[in-house]
Amino acid sequence: MNKKLLTLLGLMLGLGVAFGALVTVISNVITYSFQSKVPFELVITSPANCVNQTACKLETVYGGSTVKLGFNVTNRANNGLVGTYKIEIIPTKEALVCDEISSVKLGDQNIRDTCVKTDGSVYFNTTETIGNESTVEKTLEITFNKALHEDNYTIAISILP
């Protein structure tokens, strides 16, 4: 009986030493934690009544008119990134079709031919490399066809890495 007790105590002592060594190895670790955020920031620069905002109510737009919008894109990452712009035009009542948009220019690039129709809305896209920790000024010009149907519209601009 003493032999079994000694064997059990020896086994327990061995396990204790092994776990003690494991705790030493595990506690010899440093950690860092962080919060991740989207690297791109968009801010309106025109029209003047909407500067430094992220939403703007425009005046009435008539079919055949051109809407000129300005915004800044800031890359907050410490590396240059390729961003994909998505410009979506969303009606509230009646479905919109690509033919109701005559022209879409982002800067000097005409992106009208990238038009994609979705469930009621249309969108246009293009890509651009934006340098590390830099801001790019952009101008968006959308010319609507004269047959644009009467509705309330939202123009949503996004950029994804």
Residue 109, φ and ψ in degrees, nearest 5: -100, 120
pLDDT digits (tens, 9 = 90+) for 33-86: 999 999 999 999 999 999 999 999 999 999 999 999 999 999 999 999 999 999
Integer CA distances (angstroms), 21 to 15, 18, 24, 28, 139, in order: 10, 5, 5, 11, 63
Of the listed ranges 12-21, 34-43, 74-83, 119-128, the least confidently predicted one is 12-21
* Whether pTM exceeds 0.85: no
What's the pLDDT score for residue 145?
A: 95
pLDDT at 8 over 90: no
Distance CA 105, CA 70 (A): 12
List beta partners, residue 145.
Answer: none
User: For residue 89, how many C-alpha atoms fall within 13 Å in the half-sphere facing its CB?
Assistant: 26
* Cβ-based neighbour number of residue 37 at 10 Å: 9
In the block, which residue shows the tokens 């601009």? 157
Class of the CATH-defined domain 40-160: mainly beta
Domain ranges of the chain: 40-160
